[in-house]
Structure 1
Amino acid sequence: MQARRIARELALLSISQLPATQENLEAQPLQNVVVAAVRTLTSEVQDALETASAELQQSNTRLLNSETRAADVASAHAMVTEALTLTQTAINRLGAAIELPEMVQLANQHDVRAYALEIIQTVKANRQEIDQMLTDALVDWQLGRLATIDRDILKIAVAEIGYLAVPQRIAINEAIELAKRYSSEDGHRFINGVLRRVVDRVRTESKSPQNG
């Protein structure tokens, strides 16, 4: 279980940076997968810190120009709060980037590599079908407009449920844990809701007369 959990995390973080073709994917050593995942995390750290810096600069400008107007002071306070949140996110991402190689070392590396690449191959090979399953399950949302991390968490879970014979409950719970670690504050609730609708649709279709 530990190896598979780490493999999911690696797949999530590296999927956008690894080659799309199955042949090229199969040739990837574990080191390349880990490097791709760390690169994703460090890129997020940089983005978060740059955004936090901009928020602090805007806050400082508002305070200097406010002449103690309450509205401007409140706005500046909100910007500082947002900057602190972004900075904390960056620190968390940096911590994950440091922890990830060590986690892989402590797990069965063969199993980690094999399952991470199997997830990525499955998502890429069945992209249209997986996208359609998610599109059908989304309510008042478009798949292409979701945050990349949320979209990839959903795709991995659907790949596990639909193609990798992972029990639905386990796939959903693992997706929720990934969302708690990498998505927004309420991201895990959104992920849970979408995946439960996917599962309901799968069950309904499996019970339809044409399938049984």
Structure 2
Amino acid sequence: MQPRRTARELALLSLSQLSGNKEKVASQQMSNLIMAAIRTLTSEVRETLEVAAAEVQRGSDRLLTSETRASDVSSAKAMLSDAIELTQAAINRLGTAVELPEFVQMANQHEVRAYALEILSTVNSKRTEIDDLLTEAMVDWQLNRLPKIDRDILRIAVGEIMFLGVPDSPAINEAVELAKKYSDEEGRKFINGVLRRVTEKLKTKSRT
């Protein structure tokens, strides 16, 4: 696995867990980054399973109170189907948590830590500029309404494009790969569309 891809994933998973203080971010050890990433995944798994359990309960209640009306049965099946998908997503994220220390060990640790911290420092210190650009690029949507993981994928990609010298296409492709792993199909398409509008806006600004 490429060190930068590993670093990007590590930054994504630890972003919400670490202090925004630049000096504190720069002093983080690899073990701290891994633990922060595992805490994020554990939290995501717990929240997803809670939602799945609620969907199962709603579907069960709908079936129990139904008088076998087709609409009620169909609704209950949809709820149970959603619950199964959510449970599968939770299992996938739990699997990632188990694999995380292994794939970090396989990479060049110094390079992984250095780039992960560079991403974290950039996103934290340039948060206002990054969020302003993302807000401009969104159509009929608000950044704070996005799932946390989708929001952080967008922030990392924009931070890399604006401040870390990563070309548009590779940055978007890497963000989409992260979305495939940590978001859903709708989130992946949304992230791809927003980032393409971001790059168009940046090109327009550079010409003026």
TM-score, normalised relative to structure 2? 0.96
User: Which segment drifts farther, 185-194 or 168-177?
Assistant: 185-194
Residue 186 of structure 1 aligns to a residue whose secondary structure is helix
Q: What amino acid is aligned across from residue 10 of structure 2 in structure 1? A: L
Aligned-pair identity (%):
62
Structure 1 unmatched runs, 5+? none
User: Which segment drifts farther, 22-31 or 142-151?
Assistant: 142-151
Q: What amino acid is aligned across from residue 38 of structure 1 in structure 2? A: I
Separation in structure 2 between the aligned mates of residue 189 and residue 58 of structure 1, nearest angstrom: 29
Matches within 5 A, 1:106-117: 106-117=106-117
Report what 1:104 is aligned to: 104
Report what 1:43 is aligned to: 43
Q: What amino acid is aligned across from residue 125 of structure 2 in structure 1? A: A
Q: What amino acid is aligned across from residue 119 of structure 2 in structure 1? A: I
Residue 176 of structure 2 aligns to a residue whose secondary structure is helix
Deviation at 1:83, TM superposition (A): 0.8
Separation in structure 1 between the aligned mates of residue 153 and residue 59 of structure 2, nearest angstrom: 34
Separation in structure 2 between the aligned mates of residue 194 and residue 57 of structure 1, nearest angstrom: 35
User: Which segment drifts farther, 51-60 or 122-131?
Assistant: 51-60
Report what 2:20 is aligned to: 20
Q: What amino acid is aligned across from residue 179 of structure 2 in structure 1? A: A
Residue 180 of structure 2 aligns to a residue whose secondary structure is helix
Q: Determine whether 1:72 maps to 2:69.
A: no
Report what 2:186 is aligned to: 186
Separation in structure 1 between the aligned mates of residue 129 and residue 49 of structure 2, nearest angstrom: 37
RMSD value, Cα: 1.1
Separation in structure 2 between the aligned mates of residue 97 and residue 127 of structure 1, nearest angstrom: 27
Q: What amino acid is aligned across from residue 102 of structure 2 in structure 1? A: E
Separation in structure 1 between the aligned mates of residue 59 and residue 29 of structure 2, nearest angstrom: 46
Deviation at 1:88, TM superposition (A): 0.3
Deviation at 1:172, TM superposition (A): 0.7
Aligned length: 208
Separation in structure 2 between the aligned mates of residue 187 and residue 23 of structure 1, nearest angstrom: 33
Report what 2:175 is aligned to: 175
> Which string of whole-angstrom CA distances, capped at 9 and with x for unpartnered residues, describes residues 122-169 of structure 1?
011111111111111111111121221111111101110010011111
Residue 140 of structure 1 aligns to a residue whose secondary structure is coil
Matches within 5 A, 1:29-178: 29-178=29-178
Residue 165 of structure 1 aligns to a residue whose secondary structure is coil
Residue 10 of structure 1 aligns to a residue whose secondary structure is helix
Separation in structure 1 between the aligned mates of residue 59 and residue 151 of structure 2, nearest angstrom: 32
TM-score, normalised relative to structure 1? 0.95
Q: What amino acid is aligned across from residue 77 of structure 1 in structure 2? A: K
Separation in structure 2 between the aligned mates of residue 136 and residue 105 of structure 1, nearest angstrom: 39
Q: What amino acid is aligned across from residue 142 of structure 2 in structure 1? A: Q
Deviation at 1:184, TM superposition (A): 2.0
Report what 1:201 is aligned to: 201
User: Which segment drifts farther, 143-152 or 116-125?
Assistant: 143-152
